[in-house]
Structure 1
Amino acid sequence: MTDALTDDVLRAGARNPELFSLVYRTYASQVLGYLTARGVEDPEAVMQEVFLAILPKLDTVSGGIPGLRTFIFSVAHARLVDDHRRQSRTPVQLSFEAEMDQREDSSAEAEALQRFSPKEVLDLLQGLPDEQREVLTLRLIGGLTVDQVAAVMGKSPGSVKQLQRRALTKLREQSAVKEYVAP
């Protein structure tokens, strides 16, 4: 503790801005150490909150230097409890690491690509009317949304959805016939 901070200085300068600076220099490192040791997520920010909370109340502190120290650390403890409560309510956020993902389910797109060769896909698409083929090509290969396909083709989103539905129905029918006829 700094020799300059005494009971007399505390009583005489309760409203003095230099007193706050002296209190801060005297106790900031101790409060920071306390908050760090107790696992506060951002100890420096919480320490600043502590001193912002005690600044307007310096003139109400009683008990001299021991009373001031008790007051500072009681405020620090209250902020520590607040921080721990906030941490307990906040879910832990982990970053996604693709190489650690052990899920075995493949996407529908991956399964379809494994089931059909590129030539078979092209043959299936060739059996569709031009507009249906265009919609499926833009949606599935181009990765466009219904609204984007509608803008490209100059159609309404509803008509694009209808063309897509008809195209998929026709593809299902064609693949069902192929499987039935295949040896």
Structure 2
Amino acid sequence: MTEADGPLTETIRAAQAGDETAFVHLYRALHPRLLRYVGTLVGDAEGDGDAEEVTAGAWQEIARDLGTFDGDGTCFRAWCARIARTRALTHLGHRPARPARGPRHPGPRHPRAQRPAPHPEAAPKRPDSGRTLALIAWLPREEADAVALRAIVGLDAERAAYVLGTSPAAARSAAHRGVRRLADQLGEAAAGACLTGEPAGDATCTATWMLRGM
């Protein structure tokens, strides 16, 4: 549990005891993260359409089952993310198919020159959460899921694995691949925003810039 999750744990206990104000605090603390996470899954990075509908449904389920939750604040974020993810995937299975975006379809990886990518001149010159969310949503679904859980929901590999139903090693590997791919797409336009002392051309540095923009 992180230090910031201590008060969240206390709020969870109060909400489970029937404190409606505490539940409102939980909602305000977690809703923006869940909404952005769901947006990367359903293709609504702005969170004003499908993502809002799915996240609202997730909160109904969270409220219904809150009494069954047993864990700290960090586990609660993972628990809520898992509920939201399940509803998002169910939503995707029930809506009409949309044209595939980026490399989400199965098959061998496309060469870099053929990979759908943001135009270099359109890359943000400073942290831009909307653009960052769109870039995360562009990733293959496995990588998008892992990166979003780390960058948006704030989960470590172990808890991300719980949400994804996989191993911590697999969750960590998917997040690493996704961040490297994002760093490659952001390229030199983001390198100048790196922290002082970091190698400007390093992919990890560029990815750090990307995550700071969330």
TM-score (norm 2): 0.38
Q: Which has the higher helix share?
A: 1
- When Rg is computed on C-alpha atoms for both structures, the one with the higher figure is 1
Which of the pair has the greater relative contact order for Cα pairs under 8 Å at 6+ separation?
2
TM-score (norm 1): 0.44
